[in-house]
Amino acid sequence: LAKTTQPISMDSYEGQEVNITCSHNNIATNDYITWYQQFPSQGPRFIIQGYKTKVTNEVASLFIPADRKSSTLSLPRVSLSDTAVYYCLVGDMNSGNTPLVFGKGTRLSVIA
């Protein structure tokens, strides 16, 4: 699976928009980009997934440039409850049994 690089940590105040960028220079044609969120003492939880351009759901937006070598997770108006570790993953999820390869993630701390 393509290796990803993302910031170790980020801080934000409540109500601000948070953008977390992930680099994946070796992304392959069949690879999707997936973001997971992990709260303390819980398992990772799927946030959003995309292949190209922009994807938006009720939780976040995912921006993917044309070359797909990076992606940006955007969290609008964060609250204290968004404090978590956010993982960017890249891989060919259609290959059947490919496990997820988690990097170290970005620890987001939301401050009141």
Q: Which is nearer to other proteins, 3 or 104 (CB)?
A: 104
DSSP string, 1-36: ----B--SEEEEETT--EEEEEE-TT--TT-EEEEE
- CB of 93 vs other proteins, minimal distance in Å: 3
- CB of 40 vs other proteins, minimal distance in Å: 10
95 lies in the site for other proteins, by CB under 8 A? yes
Q: Would you state the torsion angle of the CA atoms of residues 49, 50, 51, 52, taken in this order, to the nearest 10 degrees?
A: -160
Identify the residue among 49, 61, 72, 83 touching other proteins (CB under 8 A).
49
58 lies in the site for other proteins, by CB under 8 A? no
- Round to whole Å and give the CA distance between 11 and 108: 6
Pairing of strands 45-50, 32-38: antiparallel
41 lies in the site for other proteins, by CB under 8 A? yes
32 lies in the site for other proteins, by CB under 8 A? yes
Residue 8 CB neighbours (<10 A): 8
10 lies in the site for other proteins, by CB under 8 A? no
Q: Under the rule (CB under 8 A), what is the footprint of other proteins?
A: 32, 34, 41-46, 49, 51, 85, 87, 93-97, 99-102, 104-105
